[in-house]
Amino acid sequence: MSKTALIISASSDIASATARLLAEKKYSITLTSRNIQSCADLSKEITNISSNICFTISLDVRDVTSFDDFFLNLKDTPELVLFCAGKMESDELISSKNRGYFSQEIKDIVDTNFTGPIIFLSKLKDYLVKKDKQTSIIILSSVAGDRGRSKNPFYGSSKAGLSSFSSSIRQELGKSKISVITIKPGFVRTKMTKNLNLPKFLTSSPEQIAKIIYRAHKKKKNVVYSKFWFLIMIVIKSIPEFIFKKLNF
């Protein structure tokens, strides 16, 4: 019986790198994206690598009304689900002194990073419990959610909510066949961070994160950081608030 994987928001760099790695491991893969045309080349590449047909399904994680139909049309029950939806603030929003004027962008960030994901993951959880199959739900969150910072308040707070929700369903499913794994990659060289000046020794490639994701799936981990980020976030979270509010990083 072939191994199966479902990748949500597969057009992201980390998702694409993970899809290629899973194809090398001979997984049968289903890709989703708001615009499935953006996954057309990746789908062909995966088919060539694995010799398995790669399915593509249109899915917008902001459109919660589409989720029931999505699960009705899902062809196979996956043993690995990678949830990669994410949206950061624009440069204009970050640099603005009137961030409240960007209400539509803020709503889109929260809907993409938190509201849509927790509803989708709730329905995914119910779907998988009924199938009674050994499965890993791997949720791509962020170290930005470990402590709020003024430079990415909407991305960070929405990812904090996603991490908290991941912990909730991990506890709920603790005695089931379903593993819930939270990945917090730290800095990654992707389309989303292309305009940022990232320190090389703390920055991973999408391919490195893909390997972390796969190992976490095989070992049934709970929360996984890349590089030195676990230690870095321990230090950052330990800074007293009266000092932290005076810092600028």
Predicted pLDDT at 193: 78
Contacts of 83 (CB under 8 A, 6+ apart): 8, 9, 117, 120, 121, 137, 138, 139, 140
Structural domain includes residue 176 = yes
pLDDT in tens, 147-177: 999 999 999 999 999 999 999 999 999 999 9
| pLDDT for 17 beyond 90 | yes
- In the sheet with 135-140, reading across from the earlier edge strand, the strands are 55-58, 27-33, 3-8, 80-83, 135-140, 178-184, 223-225
Q: Does the residue 190 lie in any domain?
A: yes
Strands (DSSP E) along the chain, which ranges?
Answer: 3-8, 27-33, 55-58, 80-83, 135-140, 178-184, 187-188, 203-204, 223-225
For the chain, the average pLDDT equals: 95
Q: What per-residue confidence (pLDDT) applies to 102?
A: 97
Query: What was the pLDDT predicted at 75?
Result: 85
Range of the domain at 181: 3-244
CATH assignment at residue 120? 3.40.50.720
Task: Give me the percent of the chain exceeding a pLDDT of 70.
Answer: 100
Query: Which pLDDT belongs to residue 161?
Result: 98
Query: What pLDDT shows up at residue 190?
Result: 87
Rounded mean pLDDT of 214-241?
Answer: 97
Whether 23 is covered by a domain: the verdict is yes
pLDDT band at 1 (very low <50, low <70, confident <90, very high): low
pLDDT band for 248, please (50, 70, 90 cuts).
Answer: confident
Per-residue pLDDT reduced to its tens digit, 218-228: 999 999 999 99
Domain count, the chain: 1
Measured between alpha carbons, how far is 182 from 234 in angstroms, rounded to an integer?
17
Is 61 a domain residue? yes
pLDDT digits (tens, 9 = 90+) for 108-120: 999 999 999 999 9
pLDDT digit string, tens, across residues 21-78: 999 999 999 999 998 888 999 999 999 999 898 999 999 999 999 999 999 989 889 9
Task: Please give the single-letter amino acid code of residue 81.
Answer: V
Element (H, E) at 199: none
- 249 domain residue, yes or no: no
Residue of 228, 151, 157 whose CA lies nearest to 197:
151
